Every structure is written in structure tokens, then in C-alpha cells.
A and B are shown apart, each in its own frame.
Chain A
């Protein structure tokens, strides 16, 4: 052991690192791992996107034209699973890897090798998930919520998806432990918790949520696995089990999961807005408390996904009131962002456009969220296109827009080059326009009575579906422009200064662009 230890020490401050393929396979550097997370997420985003477009193509007109109903259900299920577990979550972990050490003045993540392992679990999980399309019976087709007994009817594709969820859960838990440890132990001297950048705060809280709920999901899917293969009856009423119990356990994971996908987005937006308003974030401490309140409330509202499953009056009332309460801290955040912009000196580069687009559209998703929280109204809109519109407003124009904003914001730091500003702006406006074209009309479809997860629909829904499909294709194709802008920025472009944004205040902007391999070898002096 001693010899190994000496060897490690000897190389500790060496700046050379493996090159070629082993740079990636044996990666222990937070930037390399962050990059892999982001490319993995983008690949899955395109994969899930192609599925979404196939779904929208089938729904272009009434009647069955392109895919049969079984395959349609496989597509909706896999689109959900891939976007949630393959695209949005890994993208945020990619951001955490790149940014947390740089923003707290650390050289790297706390557990470099575990970091490698938590990333490299993802590709096999993705292969299991996508590979399920090619086994007898096809991919799981019971919706991303995999409710039994329907999910018990599926072929072995379901078992593959369950294993994929196990592996991705393990990856998330390890990633979270790493993030928590890094944040709690490796901050620059003088950076107290209440002086941390808000992005770091939101990730700290998100990581705790992940550690709390991913094991719950693992438990639920394990019971499903044994129900399917080993004759247990956890969720089989005929054997004394309870199918509704699965829904309770799933949503005990599933609702905090929603906030796992949005809290880091709040963090990114809270970095971008003050930078481009050239004014400090309004209400920093209330932002931190609001984030924490949202996280805590998110753990006691799960059954609002189950208002039609049959619950006593008191249950419905409790979950309705608790859900409505979330609007308070969320409102505080929106007001604080607005107050940050108020009397600032604003410029509107691409990151700022995405951040404002985020606030605007996320708030619309928040309004429809409050409407969904009201039990009587939820009874009408539950499992309709209204809900589809609601959660795409918070996940696409919410989480995804913040990811785009964050990428444009930090690309100069990551690559050392400025991205093409006019193409970036074009990407924003195309995304903004087509996103609304695709999803706004879905509110009307839901209110008028179109259920979700159907491959064909009544004639009265035809026009809005056609508009929605056009919007979806426009949105999907716009993302190829994003790929082009990013590739162009990696390959070259104007040299980025250490601090390309006039109003930026956080520590990463004190490093040169591109940032050195071991971000801060000696802790910086933090004057917060």
C-alpha cells in the first residue's frame, strides 16, 4: 500500500494526463467527465427526440398511418424514460461536474474515481434501455410510470428497462454523494454556505433529494421485477397485493424527481440573470430558503398524481393544499428574478434570452400547475393533453431551456472560444417559437377532452394536432442548429477572455479560458 501511495503522491501535481481513448475511459478529471455527461445527454436527447417526432408524425392526422398502436405505446414510454433519465438528469450532472469545482474554488470533485464509475454506468444502462426495442415483445409500452398490472404484461423489454433504472439510480446516487462531499468539504476558504453561488446551492439540495428518492424507485421496480418473474404478489390484487401501492411508491420518487430536474435549472438561471442585468441577485437568502422549501414540500405532495385513483376526501384535501403551497416559494423565485432585472443594465446575449424565455414559459407551466393542483379541475385534465402541455412547459421550456442557457453561458470558459452570437440567438428564437407552436395548443386539446397516450383521436382534435406536429418538427430540427453552434465553438472562434461577461461575479471567471485541467490547484481567496 505504501508504495502505491508514494506513486500517487509523486504524480499528484503532474499536469500530464492520459491521451486518446484512455483519457475518456480512465477519466478522473471533472471536466472530462462533465464533457462526457453532456455529450451522453445530448445523444440521448436526440434519441428521445426522434421518438417524439415519430409520435407527432403519427398524430399528424387522425387514423393509423405510420406506426401501429403497440409500437406507439413503446415510443411514448421510451421517450419519457430516455428524456428524464438519459437526457435531462445527466445533463445537469454534467453541469455539476464542470461547474461545482470551479465555482467553489476546488481542484476537482471529491471522489475522482467514483466519478468515473458513475458516468460509465450510464452507457450500459442506455444500451439496455434502447436495446429493449430489439427483443421479443419490444420495448416497455406501459408508459414511463410503468404502472402494474399493465407493466406485468410486457415482454422481457420491461425487465431490461428495470435493470437500466437500477443502474442509472446507482449512478445518480454515486454522483450525488460526490457532489455533496465536494460542496461540503472543498469550498475555498471564506466561502461559507450562505455565500455559495446559487447554482451550487441548488445542486446541493438536488443531490440530497436524489439520495433520498432514487432508492425508493429502486425498491419499487425491484418489487415489480419479482412480481413479473418470481411469482410474488406485491402489486397483484388477486394475490393480496395492491396495484395502487405501486403508484404511491413510484410517485414518492416521481414527484421529487420533478424538482430534481428543475432545481438545478433555477440555479443556472440565478447565475445568468444577475450577470446580464449587471446587478446582484435579489433576495439571495430567500432564494436559498425557497429552494429548500420546494425540496421539502416536494416530498409530501406525491399523491396529486393520483387524484383519480380513489382516495378519501381528507387525502385529496391534504395533497391539494400541500401542492398549492409549492406555488409560494416558486412565486418568490420568479419575483426575485424579476426584481433582479428591475433597474439593472441589461444586455440580451443568448444565455440571457434563454434565461428570460425560461422565466416566461416556466411561469406559464407554473400557472397550469396550480390549475392541475385543484382537485376538481385535475379530475378533468388528469391524463389528458393538458397535462402533457403542463409538464413540457416546465421540462422543455424550463429544464431544457436552462440547460441551453447554461451551455451558452459557460461555453467560452469550457472551450476558450466565443460561440457564434447570431446563430445562438437564432437558435433561441426558433426554439421559442416552435416550442410554443408545438405545446400551447395541447392545452386546448386536453381541455376539449383528448386523452394522452393514444395513437389515434377523434376528428374534433385534428387541427390542433396538425399544428402541434408542425411545431414539434420545427423544434426538433432547430436543435441541429444548436449542435452546429457548439461544434463550431469547440473547433474555433474568437478567443474568449477569462471573463467574457461584464457582469459575471463567480469564481470560475477568475480562471483563464479555457480553464486549466486542475481548476484551482491552490485555493483562491474568496471575497464574498
Chain B
């Protein structure tokens, strides 16, 4: 189909859909949105159109079957003095209504098959991003293409106060993150998925991409964003108590802006490396540590350090937080296999030093020692 013809076809589709669904073309955050969000990738658009087509087919069948049934219910009733007929089978009719649905189904399967093949074709990406599901945040590593080497975590940015109703809720309540996944428009982005602890699912409706992230396995999906914008999604596989609180935010930008963003990220990484050799005071580390703890640890181990046993043990009075430093650093950096404790090696040396210091000196823990970033740097070697 030529691009002009397809534009016309889309126009017709949209018109039909808008006739069926009042309010369809409104903004994404419309509280009465009745359909998929406006599609922003080829795949999402295929999905949208196939869904519309299926609704029309269902509508026709609905009218056929229930038109007949309701006519019958109105006319063929005893109270109207209608006498029952006695027919009870007709091979011809039965064969016809076995074959017709079969043909309709083939009509549905044909476009779906083409889309499935397109969805599964993750070859020749411009950028590949490894995405890791953690309880309960996402880790992104740009592994090939422009931006290679960039790596960050992305967690819910909605303040707890909004969730527990002590503050008014913001516009993008539960759908905002600290670090967005930035991608260039018009480029094929391949997302490699895995998980660290349990199964998660990475889903951005407007881009038509959803794929489970499974520990120990790598799966993939892809998208090419049509136009710049912020596309929001959520984890779609139950992954524990904060499952509802690990959104995904993709920011698609023009390629030039993307290049600029890549440069900024590289600069930040360089700055973090310098800090490693600086010596901090205990109070500085504790203050920074509390921030790191609130952002990364509080969901499981709780603000009061009491955890939520049995899955998430308390840090208050724990053997590790009161024992030798090395064990404590080890569990934070490497996690503990077979448990919910994830590795936090993606945090900077300063952040790990700060949070370990904070944990060893809070909630009555009496280790009393201070861990410097240089020690973490040493530990990593």
C-alpha cells in the first residue's frame, strides 16, 4: 500500500473507530478512554487495526445471533399463543454454521500471522538495550549502538505520601520514574529482557511491546517509536508486593537530542568515578546512605529496618549489619542467590559505601564503623 493510500485508509479507520467509540481521540490520560492508547509504532498500529476489525466482525455476529434470538423471544412465546414446532436437526444447516465461522477465523488469522512474524523479527537493531527486572525497579544497560555503555536504574518516582493519601496525587501518579529510558525516534530499538529475582514483564502499550523478563533466560522484543513523546507503561507480571509500583517510562526524542543526552550521561559517569577516592565523614555518609536506602532498600527492609519476614529479613540487629564489613559489602554488591536479595553493583561506590555505613549505624545496630568509597572500589577488584 502506498503511503498516501495508507494515510487515507487510516483516516477511514479512525473515523469508523471514533464513530463506535466516542472520545477515542482524546488525550492518553482520558478517564473515559475506551480503547487502546493512540499507537506510536508500526506494531502498535497493526494491533489497533486488527482489534478494530475484530470488533466489527463480532458486532455483525452479535447482531445476527442475538437478533434472531431476541426476535424469537418476542414472538415465539407461549403467552402469545405460539405453538412449538418439533424440528430438531438439519445436517445442512449444521454444516453451514460450522464452515462459515471457520472461514471467518481464517480471515482473522491471516493479518495476525503477518504481524506475529513482524513482531518476532528482532534482527538488525540500531540500538540494543538490556533490560533487567528487579523487585521492584528496572535496570537498563545500553549494550550496542549509540549510547553503548550507558547504564542506570529506573524506579518509581511518585512519593510515598501520594500513595498513602497524605499528599494530593500528581498528574502522572504511579506512572513516573526517576530515570527515563531515552531512545531516538525512527530507530529500531531491540530490548533484551531478563530478570534478577522473579518474573516481571516489560510493557509499553503505545509502542505495542510486552515481553516477560525471566530470571536465567534472555528474551527479546523490539519497537521503533514513530514520533517524539513520553510513553508510559507498567510491569505486567505479578512480581510481589510492589508489583503495582514499577512503571516504565520511555522518552522518544529526535536523534540530535538523543546524541546530546548520550553525551550528558557519559559526563555523569566520569564525575562519579572521581568521587571514589574522596574520603567522607561518617555524617556525610550516613546522610547520603539514608537517601540511597530510601530509594533502593525500603520497599523490602522497611524504613524502620524491621523488614517483612520471612521473605525480607530485618536489618535491625542482623548478624550481617553487626558483623564484619566485608560480608556486609558482599551481600549488598552481589546479593544472595536463591533469595529476594538482589545485587546492587549498579550503584556507585559512593552510594554503596554510604548505604552500608547507614545500615551499620541505624536502628540500634552498633558496628560503629565507616565504609569509604575506596573500600568498595577495592572490593570490586
- How many Å from the CB of B158 to the closest CB on chain A? 10
A residues near B (Cβ < 8 Å) are 62-65, 68-70, 73, 136-137, 141-143, 147, 149-150, 153-155, 236-238, 242-244, 277-286, 308-310, 312-313, 316-317, 320-321, 324-325, 327-328, 331-332, 334-336, 338-339, 341-348, 356, 359-360, 363, 367, 370-371, 374-377, 379-380, 382-384, 444, 447-449, 451-464, 503
Report which of A136, A150, A309, A332 forms a contact with B238, defined as CB distance below 8 A. A150
For B93, what are the chain A residues with a Cβ–Cβ distance below 8 Å? 339
Q: A324-B108, A383-B201 are in contact. List 13 more A-B contacts (CB 8 A).
A: A73-B238, A73-B240, A308-B236, A320-B116, A343-B72, A344-B82, A376-B112, A377-B51, A447-B35, A456-B163, A456-B245, A460-B31, A462-B31
> Is the Cβ of B85 less than 8 Å from the Cβ of A343?
yes
B363 in the interface, Cβ–Cβ < 8 Å?
Answer: no
Known: A63-B164, A334-B65, A376-B46. A451 touches B216 (CB 8 A): no
Known: A346-B73, A456-B245, A460-B29. A331 touches B101 (CB 8 A): yes
29 cross-chain CB contacts under 8 A: A62-B173, A70-B308, A136-B310, A137-B311, A150-B199, A150-B240, A155-B311, A237-B215, A277-B84, A278-B84, A279-B85, A282-B87, A282-B89, A285-B89, A310-B211, A310-B214, A317-B116, A331-B98, A341-B69, A344-B72, A345-B76, A375-B115, A379-B210, A448-B36, A454-B244, A457-B244, A458-B174, A459-B169, A460-B33
Q: How far is the CA of A320 from the CA of B114 in the complex (A)?
A: 13
Q: How far is the CA of A68 from the CA of B302 in the complex (A)?
A: 14
For A142, A331, A348, A384, the residue with the greatest tally of chain B CB atoms inside 10 Å of its CB is A331
For B98, what are the chain A residues with a Cβ–Cβ distance below 8 Å? 328, 331-332
> Is the Cβ of B241 less than 8 Å from the Cβ of A141?
yes
- How many Å from the CB of B140 to the closest CB on chain A? 19
> Is the Cβ of B68 less than 8 Å from the Cβ of A342?
yes
- How many Å from the CB of B63 to the closest CB on chain A? 12
> Is the Cβ of B117 less than 8 Å from the Cβ of A313?
yes
- How many Å from the CB of B378 to the closest CB on chain A? 27
How many interface residues does B have (CB within 8 Å)? 103
For A462, what are the chain B residues with a Cβ–Cβ distance below 8 Å? 31
Known: A150-B240, A243-B216, A371-B54. A380 touches B205 (CB 8 A): yes
- How many Å from the CB of B198 to the closest CB on chain A? 4
Report which of B37, B119, B164, B237 forms a contact with A448, defined as CB distance below 8 A. B37
- How many Å from the CB of B172 to the closest CB on chain A? 7
CB-based A-B contact count at 8 angstroms = 303
Report which of B85, B86, B105 forms a contact with A327, defined as CB distance below 8 A. B105
For A65, what are the chain B residues with a Cβ–Cβ distance below 8 Å? 165
Q: How far is the CA of A43 from the CA of B65 in the complex (A)?
A: 37
B residues near A (Cβ < 8 Å) are 28-37, 43-44, 46-47, 50-51, 54-55, 58, 61-62, 65-66, 68-69, 72-73, 76-79, 82-90, 93-94, 97-98, 101-102, 105, 108-109, 112-113, 115-117, 119-120, 162-165, 169, 171-175, 197-199, 201, 203, 205, 208-212, 214-217, 219-220, 233-245, 308-311, 337-338, 340
- How many Å from the CB of B53 to the closest CB on chain A? 10
> Is the Cβ of B97 less than 8 Å from the Cβ of A238?
no
For A377, what are the chain B residues with a Cβ–Cβ distance below 8 Å? 47, 50-51, 54, 112
Report which of A285, A338, A347, A375 forms a contact with B77, defined as CB distance below 8 A. A347
Q: Which residue of B lies closest to A313 (CB)?
A: B120
Q: How far is the CA of A359 from the CA of B211 in the complex (A)?
A: 35
Q: How far is the CA of A383 from the CA of B210 in the complex (A)?
A: 10
Known: A286-B89, A374-B112, A460-B29. A380 touches B84 (CB 8 A): no
For A62, A143, A377, the residue with the greatest tally of chain B CB atoms inside 10 Å of its CB is A377
Known: A64-B163, A308-B212. A347 touches B78 (CB 8 A): yes
- How many Å from the CB of A281 to the closest CB on chain B? 7
> Is the Cβ of A150 less than 8 Å from the Cβ of B58?
no
- How many Å from the CB of A388 to the closest CB on chain B? 13
- How many Å from the CB of A501 to the closest CB on chain B? 12
> Is the Cβ of B216 less than 8 Å from the Cβ of A237?
yes
> Is the Cβ of B119 less than 8 Å from the Cβ of A283?
no
> Is the Cβ of B164 less than 8 Å from the Cβ of A244?
no
